[in-house]
Amino acid sequence: MLWFEQIFPILFIFTIFTNLLLESGILYNVSQKQLVLIVYFLGCIFGFPIGAKLTADFGSKNLIDKKYYEFLSAVSNHFSLPFIIAYTIINQLNMASCTLKILFCLYAPSAIAMIVFVIIKRDISSVNTACNGHKNKKTAPGFKLDTQIIDAGIINGFETMIKLCAYIVLFSVISRIPLQSADCDNMFLYIIFASLEATNGIHNICSLPVTSFLKSSVCIGILSFGGLSCILQTRSMFSDQKFKILKYVMFKFILTSASIFSFIFIM
């Protein structure tokens, strides 16, 4: 139901729409710096794994330099606002009054990293200078609806959806193991399994008889890092391209640490 209600409707339409934009040639007149910012903002607004999916799609057409894959995926991979606010903050943590503080802790590190990246990386201003795959800038012929493009987008969308569904189901089942454990109050055990899949992981953590501050701190880390399921889902977006998973994990770990320390300082 998580896949069907929250991920499939948004990401499937996004996959088709992105494919139409890419194949029509419209985006070839947009600078790489603008595309990087588009990926970041759309990833933050619509949630995981839109950021990674757009990065992979733009990179496949050499609109975004492949050396930025891991960083851009890390800063743009956030859970959707409804999931963070409605499910985690209100339903699980019961901390509606702290919504703005929690959102600040989650988004501020990636926003700062993105601002610094855009300022420092002067070479991303032009798609021609940054991407070796395009020697000449293409001029978009204008948007046109082609049934072959639509068909390819639909097939690509379903392939992506099936992959994500498999990862979500697999890790959701594994993350429920602590509920069947004899030592059901073992915090360390819950944190380990919570690092696999966020939805059940957050629910399991919030069910423990520990302080509200400890629960919320762990949940901040889960929301920021994403868990093993999200890492593998992100990697699956780049199945036909070079993507250094350890580099991505390193970036996510830095952002997660910043989010946790921000939350501890603010609260």
Q: Which of 109, 103, 105, 34 is nearest to 71 (CA)?
A: 109
12-21, 54-63, 140-149: lowest mean pLDDT where? 140-149
pTM: 0.77
Q: Mean of the per-residue pLDDT values for the chain?
A: 79
Q: How far apart are alpha carbons 225 and 220 in whole angstroms?
A: 9
Interval 92-137: pLDDT, tens: 888 888 889 999 999 999 999 998 888 887 656 544 444 444 444 4
Q: Which of 256, 245, 178, 183 is nearest to 222 (CA)?
A: 256
- pLDDT confidence of residue 2: 67
% of residues, the chain, pLDDT over 90: 14
- pLDDT confidence of residue 36: 87
Interval 161-194: pLDDT, tens: 787 788 778 877 776 665 555 455 666 777 777 7
- pLDDT confidence of residue 110: 92
User: Residue 196: pLDDT above 60?
Assistant: yes
Q: How far apart are alpha carbons 34 and 200 in whole angstroms?
A: 36
8-12, 55-59, 76-80: lowest mean pLDDT where? 8-12
More confident residue, 195 or 72: 72
- pLDDT confidence of residue 144: 54
Q: How far apart are alpha carbons 192 and 141 in whole angstroms?
A: 52
